[in-house]
Amino acid sequence: MFDMHGETVCYNEKDETAVIIDQTLLPGEIVTLELWEKEEMYDAIKRLAVRGAPAIGVFAAIGLSVLAARDKTADEKTLIGHFLENLEYLTSSRPTAVNLFAAADEMKKTALLHKGEGADAVRAALKEKALELHGKDIEVCRKIGEYGADLLKNCDSVLTHCNAGRLATVKYGTALAPVYVAAENGHKIRVFSDETRPLLQGARLTSFELANAGIDTTLICDNAASYVMKNGLVSAVLVGCDRVAANGDTANKIGTSGVAVLAKYYGIPFYVCAPFSTIDKNCLSGRDIKIEMRSGDEITDMWYEKRMAPKNIRTLNPAFDVTDNSLITAFITEKGVLSPNEF
């Protein structure tokens, strides 16, 4: 099982470090990293050592507090200047994850609110806000789990894409929270986990955490999603997301949109599990969501002993796609189950 009391991200207050599980090493090794340099924090987000929109947001908040706490000799003006530089630097690591910017904005408001009270007061306020965001994520995900478990009370199997479980948040997860809460209530739900190419978050992370939790889990290749739906093996689809536009268009891991199209065709409910912080009211539709493009090496080389594509082949490797709101049955949030037009 996980270290850190079942948490993926936490604040080591004694040593003033941000602590994460290095998810790039799962499932082979469970390694925790204690980070206190901004370059390390940026790298952890960029290379997906910490990932999942909620987890990234909380990690950034803790990271900004740690950096301020360690900036011990700075006066207030210098401290806030360094804080704003660090904030801009960390938010440049992953442009699609709205929680990263939301958490950073909360931290910025906190710093500016306490401006004029002295450097120590600003540091203390930033720490308090980071811990508040950490605790709020656990509470929000638990609520999502409760609403989702009630919605799925007549459901015996779900399909999920990528990883939106405990490893993508501080503790419960979003898309997998209903499964965990249902299990606590004695309702066992079987999970089909897409492998999720090219980084295999479904194979490496979702399967790992579900197996550790004793959940009945079946790993499938991405191309088998249609097969399990057509053959009546799936009652519903649960996914997380990285950003939701004001009209309900939703950005999530590449391949999610295809799963939504299949679910629509086969008449299977498609639920997006997301905290309200993932809804970006300033983003009018999916067309306004910036999609992160990643290295083609993730397609051609990663996971293979030798390159599996011609050296001169072009690649296109978007990290996310956008699912149209018309394909989404409902959003499961901490405020209840909502349709896209109820935001």
Catalytic (active-site) positions:
242
Under 8 Å between Cβ of 162 and 239:
yes
Under 8 Å between Cβ of 237 and 313:
no
Cis peptide before 198 (omega within 30 of 0): yes
The residue to which tokens 């083609």 are assigned: 296
Q: How far apart are CA 243 and CA 98, in angstroms?
A: 5
Paired sense of beta strands 157-160 and 236-239, if any:
parallel
326 Cβ contact list (under 8 Å, min separation 6): none
Under 8 Å between Cβ of 261 and 324:
no
The residue to which tokens 């605790």 are assigned: 135
Name beta bridge partners: 250. Answer: 244, 323
Paired tokens of 115:
């401006």
Under 8 Å between Cβ of 122 and 111:
yes
Compute φ and ψ for 135, nearest 5 degrees. Answer: -65, -35
Element (H, E) at 26: none
Strand, coil or helix: what is 50? coil
Strand, coil or helix: what is 225? helix
Cα atoms in the 13 Å half-sphere on the side-chain side of 254 = 14
Q: Which of 296, 307, 172, 314 is nearest to 240 (CA)?
A: 172
Paired tokens of 228:
């399990």
Q: How far apart are CA 205 and CA 191, in angstroms?
A: 13
